[in-house]
Amino acid sequence: MLLVLSVGVFAGFIDSAVGGGGLLRLPVLLSAGLPPHVAIGTNKFASTAAAAIASFKYLQSGIVPRKAGVVGWTLMVIFSALGASVVLSISGEVVFNIAIVVLSILFLYVLLNPEFGREERIRENRVVPVSAGMGAGIGFYEGFLGPGTGSMLMAGYIKGAGFGMDRAAATARVLNFGGNIGSIAVFALAASVNYEVAIPFALANMIGGYMAPGYVLRYGYSMLRPLFLVMAAILILSQGVDYLV
């Protein structure tokens, strides 16, 4: 349990900065002896808790555009629930392959473009449409599969709306919270959650989620770019290995 809680704090921090905390949570839950379906449900529960507190802090900072946040958050709730509800009726392989390709392109683009997200050039007329598009498309993906959602949202806001990395990370986290709510609502009805582990694990993740916004808002690009690249690389490699094995 001490290992689980320690990982939970770090995973909550990573999730609330650039996404990818599930890469840390799931293995430790499985190694603790939870069955796979229970581990997935427990992970969803914990990630939702971390997203809630991080979103609250980001909204308090004033860095998140409220209208775009509300539109994107609402659509993420709806479409992630839809994605979770149809996950058994559509081939996961197709969506998985698309996700790996998209994440690989994002990784290479950020790696080869050092200025990506360094400075803001906000396109006001595109902020809400980008939020709506990602809320629907990436929201469905979050409910259906999930890995890399935070990274995709961040990159979408930087490229599509001209956000800097700090504003993109903050707004992406708010939208991701909506996706967490939609998917866990459906998932909880169909799968088991070990609440004896999930509740303390969620509290640990909330500590990490509470800490992350302060660092993101203080260090911005200098912290987020390398962290984004590291987590995206780990995500691509781990998912690729799982697929091949």
CA distance linking residue 18 with residue 168, whole number of Å? 9
Q: Look up the pTM and report it.
A: 0.85
H or E stretch including 87?
A: none
User: Cα–Cα distances in Å, from 54 out to 57, 170, 178, 226?
Assistant: 5, 8, 12, 20
Give the confidence band of 96 by pLDDT, cuts at 50, 70, 90: low
Structure tokens at 154: 């961040």
Dump pLDDT digits (tens) for 178-233: 999 988 888 777 666 888 999 999 999 999 999 999 999 888 888 888 988 888 88
Structure tokens at 110: 């950020």
User: How many of the other CB atoms lie within 10 Å of CB of 169?
Assistant: 33
Average pLDDT over residues 65-80: 95
User: Cα–Cα distances in Å, from 93 out to 22, 88, 149?
Assistant: 19, 12, 17
The residues, any chain, with a CB within 8 Å of residue 34's CB and separated by 6 or more, are 42, 194, 197
Structure tokens at 19: 């996404």
Dump pLDDT digits (tens) for 140-193: 988 877 777 888 899 999 999 999 999 999 999 999 999 999 888 887 776 668
Between helix 195-219 and helix 221-244 the angle, nearest 10°, is 140
Looking at the chain, the whole-number percentage of residues with pLDDT higher than 70 is 92
> How high is the pLDDT of residue 67?
94
